[in-house]
Structure 1
Amino acid sequence: MTTSPVVFATPNDLVSAVGASLPVTEWMVVDQQCIDTFAHATGDHQWIHVDAERAETGPYGSTIAHGYLTLSVIGPLVADALSVPGASSVVNYGLEKVRFPAPVPVDSRIRLSSTITSANKVAGGVQVTIEAVVEREGAPKPACVAIVVYRFLD
């Protein structure tokens, strides 16, 4: 089963969508290859992320994903939940708040639930704020909670 995104024809249609929950995305697996690739791309090779043997005796019993790796998948997951075909482009405008309440151990499955919290016309398009919650399967706390800001350009 694949998540079907909510479709808004144009950026202006987002203005009336404040309060709308977006579809919960499909699960994605965060495996060691994903973690190692992120470590290589960012230069963050801390043992808790990349040294499986040492991490077994660490606080989580295995390697864990970087918090910023978890944060970085929000963009693609939002794109799985929200489509605006009439936008000429979508720009990641920033973040208002980010927290990492719980770790993502290797081989965890994560997904995104999200809500549009504001949408305002700006020069050239619409600025949209989304509350994004990355949950880990079976975990009592989310892995990441963030307020993300995008600009959907005309």
Structure 2
Amino acid sequence: MPWDSETEGDAALSLSDIAEWYTTRIGKEMGPGPWHTVTPADVMRFADATHDWQWIHLDAERALNGPYGVPVAHGFYALSLVPHLTSSLLDLRWTSLGLNYRVDRVRFPAPLPVGVRIRAGAHIKSVRVRPRDFLEVVLAVSVTAEGQSVPACTVDHARLYQLAPGATLPVDGPVDFTPDPRPGS
């Protein structure tokens, strides 16, 4: 039997421990995260991937006479960047797997001009332990372009995470944790 000042070793961290840690941070503003430039090349690749080649996104000359006076990125392009733009806002080193689970309340309140820089801010909206040992974390996210007061995209983004063996409690961000999942990297 150990003395009162001793421990019998570190107790294994549970998903409930992580859920409790995140629950105490519900409503706390996180970010903004780092800037990301919306390049014409990225918008073209997105158009190719989604088969949405509308001129308002790709034809700079024609867009001059369009409703915004400049080419604008697809709203879904901004939405697709939410996991990347929020990746530094949460310490996810405790996870072995993260999945996009759900998006709710998606809005595109302002156009996203091609060539601008964007970044995201968020707050934790809810946390709950789910079946199959997943933790659901819902972030209320706002993606804003530099110089604009109205967000280009807002969304409630639900993610599911599983606990990694030997995980430790997260730390408050920002964090620099962007693993490269490509094979051989």
- TM-score of the superposed pair, with normalisation by structure 1: 0.89
2:71 is the counterpart of 1:63: yes
Q: Do the aligned residues in 1 keep the contact of 2:35 with 2:118 (CA within 8 Å)?
A: yes
Aligned residues: 146
Letter paired with 1:63: P
CA distance in 2, matches of 1:26, 1:86: 22
2:159 is the counterpart of 1:131: no
The structure with the larger Rg is: 2
CA distance in 1, matches of 2:144, 2:58: 22
CA distance in 1, matches of 2:92, 2:34: 19
- TM-score of the superposed pair, with normalisation by structure 2: 0.74
Please name the residue that 1:74 is paired with.
82
Q: Of the candidates 37, 41, 44, which is equivalent to residue 33 of structure 1?
A: 41
The structure with the greater share of residues assigned to strand is 1
Letter paired with 2:157: V
Q: Of the candidates 23, 28, 42, which is equivalent to residue 20 of structure 1?
A: 28
Letter paired with 2:35: W
In structure 1, stretches of 5+ residues that fail to align are 1-8
* Corresponding residue SS for 2:86: helix
Report the alpha carbon displacement of residue 147 of structure 1 after superposing the two structures with TM.
0.6
CA distance in 2, matches of 1:100, 1:65: 11
In structure 2, stretches of 5+ residues that fail to align are 1-13, 164-185
Out of 80-89 and 97-106, give the one that drifted further: 80-89
Q: Of the candidates 88, 91, 111, which is equivalent to residue 119 of structure 2?
A: 111
Q: Of the candidates 85, 109, 113, which is equivalent to residue 101 of structure 1?
A: 109
% of aligned pairs identical? 35
Q: Which runs of 4+ in 1 moved over 4 A?
A: none
Please name the residue that 1:147 is paired with.
156
Deviation digits for residues 10-51 of structure 1 (CA, Å, limit 9, x no counterpart) = 643323332222221111111211111110111100010011
